[in-house]
Chain A
Amino acid sequence: MNIMMLLEMAASGCPERIAFVDPEMDASISYQELFDSAGNIASILRATDAARFAMLDVSNIGIPIGLFASSWAGIPYVPLNYRLTDPEIESLLDRVTPAYLVTEPERVAGFHDRKGVQVSSRTDFSALARESGEIPDAWSMDPEDTAVLLFTSGTTGAPKAAVLRQKHLVSYILGSVEFMGADEEEAALVCVPPYHIAGIAAVLSSVYSGRRVVQLANFSAEKWVRLARDEKITTAFVVPTMLARIVEELAGATNADMPHLQSLSYGGGKMPLSVIQRAMELFPGTDFTNAYGLTETSSTITVLGPDEHRLAAASEEEKVQHRLVSVGVPLPGIELEIRDDEGSVQPIGERGEIYVRGEQVSGEYEGRGSVVDSDGWFPTRDAGFVDGEGFLFIDGRADDVIVRGGENMSPGEIEDVLLEHPAVSDAAVVGIPSEEWGEAVVAALVISDAVTTEELQAWVKEHMRSSRVPERLEFWDELPYNETGKLLRRVVKERLA
């Protein structure tokens, strides 16, 4: 197995079709050109002593070339987060040397003398890719070869490098995408950063389905709306913060006026109910899909599909409406279990840690080995529960549980109650060390109207057991999130402690 095989099939199925477009650079590449470019770069990589291919750049045509060329050459592709500080980037780079690095022209000089790094600018790289070189020998079909090393976003501690082998990525694509399933006019707008698993998945899925990808390097809602209209985009993926900004950008409109947008999927963090409801009003003809997945699972593992979105939105029943904040049901190749701290499988409706199993699941980190158990189950560290119809709901991280006086409580439940108060626009609840209780419940809130601590405590007490009432509330201008919309609970905890 090799992801190059997916590109080979696409290039033979629709060689002339445009694969990637970078409107800002006014560049595009067809499937055949992408295949040939990957071969040219693979030849160059094989002639160096590079053991890794590192990419430190925003979305551009070089990204898919680098991804496929690495697999052709048989070395892991390592996309780096360009938003990190220079010392952070250098320390990650040092972990993957000897490496062939491609980066923005402005950054090249900074890496010329770095040990174990051969650096090339984006401009030189794309020129090399277009030269007609010799087609290199075939790629390896060993399913165990590492295709991608992806540094996880690290909401806690130093970034870990997740190992995604050829078998994981190929299994994910074969299990979730129909070959050449896209019509000629279909176009995907990709605005997630290329160092995120959703960025890797977007490249592979689009290639296998024969869909044209329009790249948006630096997301802004204004640019997204303009590009979506100009390029007659038919499908797109966004993280919740992006959708919230798009909805804001369209404030005042009754309709987004994008009849061409057939599907809009989202994931990467918790989607606020108000945002998805407003988005469904603005895009009435669009199919919405919530995709939940992790780096370690090669992207999506559960899906809440368009029909479930429409049913939930149209329902009068609160239970069915609430399904809009579910992440749906597992993909056909994925098994899922909810387990408690002792490892026992939890009954329907009970919160616990989410475990998954399937061919796309890696669960392995470089230098640390695999966290998958002997039966193939991967502990996601996410907490959640499954309802009577099999829908999965995410409820924070498994280790977010607050233990107050021996009683376990989920911060998510308390946050949901606080968010229902009309004056509260955002909420984070954490446990901080307490001599009396072990942990005390405290909250950081963003409010949109005047409200007192006492009023909010009374509000929680009205809806929940009194042990859940935060003993302290702080009002902040905003809560800390990472760039994909995950609440940085650790930061909240530190500030409140």
Chain B
Amino acid sequence: MAALAAGKRLKSAVCATEIMVIAAPDGDVELECGGAPMTDGEGNTGGSVDANNAEGTALGKRYVSEDGGLELLCVKPGDGSLSAGGEALKVKDAKKLPKTD
């Protein structure tokens, strides 16, 4: 459990997933991928993805909590799925904006 700051990069301990924090609420967030806490260390240490958290992550997708306070960007995809404090994070719909440059 740790406080998350925007820009922080974290790895899954049980799959290839890596994320960057876009927005985080104040205070500690219990962030997990594949059912195991995410780390800013070595990453996949050989554990296995929990069957209830195995929907996978997709490159470039954003994942948000129900209240929108936590937002993550998947920078490397993997087999595990993301959760915070036991709540599964959902894919955020991409906004359609005109091309400007």
Contact = CB atoms under 8 A, between A and B. Distances in A.
B98 A305 contact: yes
A288 to B, nearest CB: 9
B75 to A, nearest CB: 6
The range of chain A's interface size is 35 or more
B3 interface: no
A167 B9 contact: no
Contacts of B20: 1, 5, 141
A12 B76 contact: yes
A419 interface: no
Chain A interface main SS type: mixed
A9 B60 contact: yes
A13 interface: yes
B7 A265 contact: no
Given A8-B75, A201-B101, A289-B99, A1 B60 contact: no
A303 B22 contact: no
A297 interface: no
A202 B95 contact: no
B2 to A, nearest CB: 15
B22 A174 contact: yes
A310 to B, nearest CB: 12
Nearest to B95: A332
A13 B20 CA distance: 16
Interface string B1-37: 0000011110000000000101000000000000000
A480 interface: no
Contact of B100 (A13, A179, A289, A332): A289
Contact of A265 (B8, B22, B75, B98): B98
Given A5-B20, A9-B60, A167 B6 contact: yes
Q: Which of A9, A143, A166, A306 has the most CB of B within 10 A?
A: A9
Given A5-B75, A9-B60, A174-B73, A265 B101 contact: yes
Contacts of B96: 178
Chain B interface main SS type: loop
Given A12-B76, A141-B8, A332-B95, A300 B60 contact: no
A282 B96 CA distance: 26
Contact of A287 (B7, B60, B75, B98): B98
B32 to A, nearest CB: 21
Given A9-B59, A174-B73, A332-B95, A291 B101 contact: yes
B6 A205 contact: no
A147 to B, nearest CB: 12
B61 to A, nearest CB: 8
Given A12-B59, A205-B99, A237-B100, 20 more contacts: A1-B20, A5-B9, A12-B76, A13-B59, A13-B60, A141-B7, A141-B8, A141-B9, A174-B73, A176-B100, A180-B59, A181-B94, A205-B101, A263-B99, A265-B99, A265-B100, A289-B98, A299-B101, A331-B97, A332-B95
Interface of B: 6-9, 20, 22, 59-61, 73, 75-76, 94-101
15 contacts: A1-B20, A5-B20, A8-B75, A143-B6, A178-B94, A180-B59, A198-B101, A202-B101, A205-B101, A237-B100, A237-B101, A289-B99, A289-B100, A303-B97, A306-B98
